[in-house]
Structure 1
Amino acid sequence: MNLDAAAGQTWLVADIGGTNARFALVDGPGAAPRDIHRVRCADHPGPVEAAGAYLAERQAAAGAAWRPPSWAAFAVATPVGQDRIELTNSAWSFSRAASEAALGLDGLLMLNDFEALALSLPGLAPRQLRAHGALPSARGTLAVLGPGTGLGVGGLLETAHGWRAIAGEGGHATLAAADDFEAEVLRTVRGEFAHVSAERLLSGIGLPTLYRAVARVRGETAAELTAEDIGTRGASGQDTLCAATLDTFCAMLGGFAGNVALTFGARGGVFIGGGIVPHFADFFFASRFRERFESKGRFRAYLEAIPTALIVEPYAALYGAAAAIEARRRRAGSTGHAA
């Protein structure tokens, strides 16, 4: 794998979640993703077919100016490390090496989606963020978490050799209650699931479960609603049960985010990503999120000093995927061989 061959050439980047995959092209180091296109994962057998269709469209549009990508980085919503990739909340299953060969690439990096999101953080502009008060400085140690189809968690460390991302599966950590109401909610959910992780409630797949549990604890009848329905009805105030569900969601997300901040020592800032919260951003900023983020007893002052911000850039993971290619190429150049 010749990383130096990537210089001056086009890169392919992708953000592959449980429901949608987003593809873009990047014109080398420092360039922003362009020609971003989203597809439903269910419409393609796997990422090779989805990427192939995307590249064919871009080639037809570019004509004689077309330059096929030499390198690619895929951010995927699942643990990585082995050649075989099995998406947690999608039917896609594929080989990294086989995908690299099928797409005719010199190299294909595979990243956890929140590893890519973490790598995007230092490069995000103020317009791509919405903060509780002052914007994070993006220095030191950072953390990012976000409800999408699932719940991702990642960290970013500033080192003498640049930023290094930490990929994990923190969304599957056990969710804790902060008061009697939440304890009753969790007790209700445990009647359905043996293990109640943070993702079980604080995600797109979890929001309907949380809604049903809140309804039961409140002695109300739950309707058959999707996560999108709950968010829309709750944020607008037209449905009191949905509003109570969103309030519980934001409060529990704040408590979980505070736990992540303490675990990573993320004094540089905690960022909220994912596709769920931006749909009810005003409700989120008026919610108990920040109150619960700081509510850690003797460590309240520690948490009060940590800034939090919502990522409003919908394609941040694509920026992070490009940063991963650039960082790998830079490290290879410093050592004189491909890493």
Structure 2
Amino acid sequence: MTSPVPPPSPEGPWLVADIGGTNARFGLVVEPGARPAAVAVLPGAGHVGLPDAVDAYLAGHAGGARPVAACLAVAGPVNADLYRLTNTGWSGSATALGIPHVELLNDFEALALALPHLEGADLASLGGPDPAPDMVKAVLGPGTGLGVAGLVPARSGWVPVPGEGGHVSAPAVTDLEIEVIRALRADGMSFVDAEHLLSGPGLVRLRHGLGLVDGVRVEPLAAPEIVARVDDTLCARTVDVFCGLLGSFAANVALTLGAHGGVYLGGGIVPRIVRRINDSDFRRRFEANLVLSGYLTGIATTAIVAEQPALTGAAAWLAQRVADRESTLTAPGAPRSPSPSPQARSTAK
């Protein structure tokens, strides 16, 4: 983490990774400006820790090349070169990887950094105008958890802003949503936050809560089954409630960050239900603010449907590090874009 970032080459590529609670996704950048290649997804359960997963990926996919730099996006707290994944037992120091230069990011920081590099088939509109360029952007994503981050334009590139927005209060608006939360609390949940409803486990809780409200005992289903059972009335209703809550939550994020550059939705669930989101109450709920509805009407909402976008963001961060250094060397005294705080950063995913 102390050495400068050298440019990538086939013999000395950049390693980029998105390390989640279930899977570890890896790729290689072999030339400046290239998107990650040799992408592979390794199950976390098959490895004892991050160094073991990195070694396994390099042995199977790098063709003998050794990375000269790496950027790893992890779903958990980051503090300098230390990491701890929220939903697994993996923790340690990036120095154990044996790579000359390693950058650690929170996973939603990396996803935010990918936004300026996504286009065309990488994205799907969820309503509103085209995203405004060169303005603050926001990204959120329901998956294993609910991640949130911002992206702010600077003199040279973009600055990611991580946060813990997934753990704000649940964005319940309708009588039914309030009844569901009351039912879940009566059933043993002392507190219900946004992530408790807007995530994979959240879909399971929502379906259970709707059953409680209806006085119906329901057999538990996993989130993928709930999404897939489009002809099941309770599953379809669960997804509809989920989309409405997601619209209100996305509006809260947009208002908090002033995200005139658009609100982008990623994670593991949204790409599977883009059409259902567009057919739902999502966009109406996004704009439904009695004081600032016009403000929200002018903000785009967009789904990220690209494969492994966090790898693109990790590569963009290393490229920006190279650009920052070259700018400093060629123009002594020129201001540099600020770097993320070395304080602990986390978003459960």
Normalized against structure 1, the TM-score is what? Answer: 0.92
Q: 172, 175, 180: which is aligned to 1:185?
A: 180
Q: 1:5 to 1:84 in 2, by over 3 A?
A: closer
Partner of 1:287: 280
Partner of 2:140: 145
Partner of 2:255: 262
Gapped regions of structure 2 (runs ≥ 5): 333-338, 340-349
What is the distance in 2 between the residues matched to 1:106 and 1:323?
A: 18
Partner of 1:304: 297
1:4 is displaced (CA, Å) by 4.7
What is the distance in 2 between the residues matched to 1:4 and 1:297?
A: 49
User: Bigger CA drift: 130-139 or 87-96?
Assistant: 130-139
Partner of 1:324: 317
What is the distance in 2 between the residues matched to 1:110 and 1:127?
A: 28
Q: 1:76 to 1:96 in 2, by over 3 A?
A: same
Identity %: 47
1:253 aligns with 2:253: no
What is the distance in 2 between the residues matched to 1:29 and 1:206?
A: 40
1:7 is displaced (CA, Å) by 4.8
Partner of 2:27: 24
Q: 218, 221, 227: which is aligned to 2:223?
A: 227
1:73 is displaced (CA, Å) by 0.7
1:56 aligns with 2:59: yes
1:218 is displaced (CA, Å) by 2.2
Gapped regions of structure 1 (runs ≥ 5): none
Normalized against structure 2, the TM-score is what? Answer: 0.89
SS in 1 for 2:72: strand
Letter in 2 for 1:183: I
Partner of 1:5: 6
What is the distance in 1 between the residues matched to 2:102 and 2:200?
A: 29
1:204 is displaced (CA, Å) by 1.2
SS in 1 for 2:173: coil
Given that 1:79 and 1:169 are in contact with CA atoms closer than 8 Å, whether structure 2 keeps it comes out as no
Deviations 1:48-104 (A, max 9, x none): 111110100124xx3xxx431111111111232244322112222222232xxxx32
Task: Tell me how large the CA RMSD over aligned residues is.
Answer: 1.8
Letter in 1 for 2:195: E
Given that 1:232 and 1:280 are in contact with CA atoms closer than 8 Å, whether structure 2 keeps it comes out as no
Partner of 1:69: 67
1:166 aligns with 2:161: yes
SS in 1 for 2:303: strand
Partner of 1:131: 125
How many residues get paired? 327
SS in 2 for 1:13: strand
Given that 1:79 and 1:168 are in contact with CA atoms closer than 8 Å, whether structure 2 keeps it comes out as no
What is the distance in 2 between the residues matched to 1:288 and 1:302?
A: 18
What is the distance in 2 between the residues matched to 1:89 and 1:207?
A: 18
